[in-house]
Amino acid sequence: MNERRGFTLIELLVVIAIIAVLMGILMPSLQRVKKQAQATTCLNNQKQIGLAAMLYAENYDSFIPRGAGGGDAIWFVQFLPYVGHVENQGDYRSVDIYKCKSFPRTGNGLYNMANAWQTVTYVINDWTFSSRRDNSGSSVNRPTKLSVFKRRSQTIYMADNESGSWRPIIQDQDSREIARCDIFDPGHMPTSDSKDITRGRRIARERHRNGCNVLFLDWHSEYVEAEEMTLDMWRDK
């Protein structure tokens, strides 16, 4: 008579231990691959936003939106017709390319829970400078003609939005704090340590590795390390 023999408890524990070790080895690699995929998706999002901006400029005498004024003036509403919506109809929140998948949406604490409601994961260039020697600048807050920018391939139009607790959560285009999603001050730079709601860091310091993704005004996107980003990359003159 053949005796049927199953796994012993020791054998099962050994198998479980081996699986646990393999998972411990594989998980960091899987996480890195996931982050790389999210970073690539973010770059593609920005390229598509750049295409929308280019089409917008063709229809509006080479002007592009700047600033972060509320209502229909904001860039992500202005670009709706160029990302699949009919002439500013529809809700911008349904446009996937407006959202970076790496923007933190889960975690412990009330703020991290609130991140799940964030609909604006990019900040726009609203900076104007009086001269090349001006290292402060100010907010322009109006559409600007592309010909104003002399170095479009080196000038940033858009970057990843910082997710710190001092940054506002924008739930829709009428949110009161929507004006805080533009860049016009040295304190907004990714190397800034300021957490002031108005003058504090607005460009993500570590969204992707040690920096963030940005969209330039020739409509190409690339990764820029926080330490490598300078004021000159935001100048309109």
| Domain ranges, ordered by start, for the chain | 9-234
What single-letter amino acid sits at 92?
Y
Q: Is the pLDDT of residue 134 over 80?
A: yes
Query: Tokens 């304190």 label which residue?
Result: 187
Q: Which residues contact 46 (CB under 8 A, 6 or more apart)?
A: 122, 158, 213, 214, 215, 221
Residue with the bigger pLDDT between 176 and 22: it is 176
Sign of CA dihedral 235, 146, 85, 215: negative
Q: Is the pLDDT of residue 90 over 70?
A: no
pLDDT digits (tens, 9 = 90+) for 32-80: 778 889 999 999 999 999 999 999 999 999 999 998 776 678 999 999 9
**Amino acid 87: pLDDT:** 56
| Rounded Cα gap, residues 33 and 211, in angstroms | 17
**Amino acid 96: pLDDT:** 92
pLDDT digits (tens, 9 = 90+) for 162-210: 999 999 999 888 888 999 999 999 999 999 999 999 999 999 999 999 9
**Amino acid 65: pLDDT:** 95
In eight-state DSSP terms, residue 70 is S
pTM for the model: 0.85
Q: Is the pLDDT of residue 108 over 60?
A: no
Sign of CA dihedral 209, 168, 104, 108: positive
